[in-house]
Amino acid sequence: MLDLESLFNLSYPMCIICSKKGNRFAGCIVNAVFQIVPEPPMVTVSLNKESLTHDYITDSGIFTVSILAEGTTLEFIGRFGFKSSRDIDKFEQVEYKTGQNGAPIVFDNVVSFLEAKVVETIDVETHTLFIGKITACETIDDSKIPMTYTYYRDVKGGRAPRTAATYIKRKQNRKKELKR
- The binding site for a copy of itself (CB under 8 A) comprises 1-7, 9-13, 15, 32-42, 44, 46, 67, 111-114, 120, 122, 124-127, 129, 131, 134-139, 142-143, 146, 148-150, 162, 164-168, 175-176, 179
CB of 39 or CB of 92, closer to a copy of itself: 39
Each as own residue / partner, the long-range contacts of residues 88-95 (CB below 8 Å, 24 or more positions apart, any chain) are: 90/25, 90/26, 90/27, 91/25, 91/27
- Closest approach, Cβ 66 to a copy of itself, in A, equals 10
Strand partners, 68: 110
- Which of 21/170 has CB closer to a copy of itself? 170
**Helices within 30-98 (DSSP H only):** 52-60, 74-81
* Residue at 56: amino acid letter: Y
Let me know: does 152 contact 12? Beta carbons within 8 Å.
no
Closest distance of CB 22 from a copy of itself, Å: 26
For the bound state, the minimum distance from the C-beta of residue 86 to a copy of itself, rounded and expressed in Å, comes to 22
Write down the least CB distance from residue 156 to a copy of itself, Å.
Answer: 15
**3 vs 92, beta carbon nearer a copy of itself:** 3
Q: Closer to a copy of itself by CB, 21 or 127: give it.
A: 127
Adjacent-strand bridge partners of 121:
130
Report the C-alpha gap between 139 and 18 in whole angstroms.
17
Collapsed DSSP state (helix, strand, coil) of residue 145: coil
